[in-house]
Amino acid sequence: MTIKKLSKYHNIKIEIKQLEDTVEELESTIIGSSKVTGMPITISGNSSPTERIGIKLAQLKAKIENKKESLIDEAHKIEDFLTTVDEEEIRIIIRERFLNGKTWDDIAKKMITDRSTPYYRLKNYLKGRANSEKEESN
């Protein structure tokens, strides 16, 4: 795991929320008297404009749901990584910075240390862990 990958977590959570909101909007879109269900529908040459719109909305909803699932998978990888971290100070840094979106300054104040210390502790931990994983794989 890298700081760059960990940094994605907060944005992933924001994007998942946005996708959920979009799906909610699509589900509330009523065509005729029924909601768009997302069920696969084939387009026939003689479908009405309303049916075509419904089909397109259902296809869009399916794409959004697929993207949401892939983002959730990415978020789970980061959360799973956190459970493998054996140093409590590093877990605190990761949780505060990447899961809670705190600044390095905020983390340093909480840990009663210099602003750069949490960053460098995390960086050194990740570097050491990557090196040990390389050694194990050889």
Q: pLDDT of 5-45, one tens digit each?
A: 888 888 888 888 888 888 777 777 654 434 445 555 455 55
Nearest CA to 8 among 80, 88, 101, 118?
101
Average pLDDT over residues 46-62: 76
CA atoms within 13 A of residue 113's CA, in its CB half-sphere? 13
Report the C-alpha gap between 98 and 17 in whole angstroms. Answer: 17
> Model confidence over 73-126: pLDDT tens digits?
988 998 899 999 999 999 999 999 988 889 999 999 999 999 899 999 999 999
Q: Taking a C-beta distance cutoff of 8 angstroms, is the pair 1, 132 a contact? A: no
User: For residue 44, which phi and psi values (nearest 5 degrees)?
Assistant: -100, 155
73 C-beta neighbours (distance < 10 Å), count = 10
Q: What is the pTM of this model?
A: 0.66
Q: Taking a C-beta distance cutoff of 8 angstroms, is the pair 18, 68 a contact? A: no
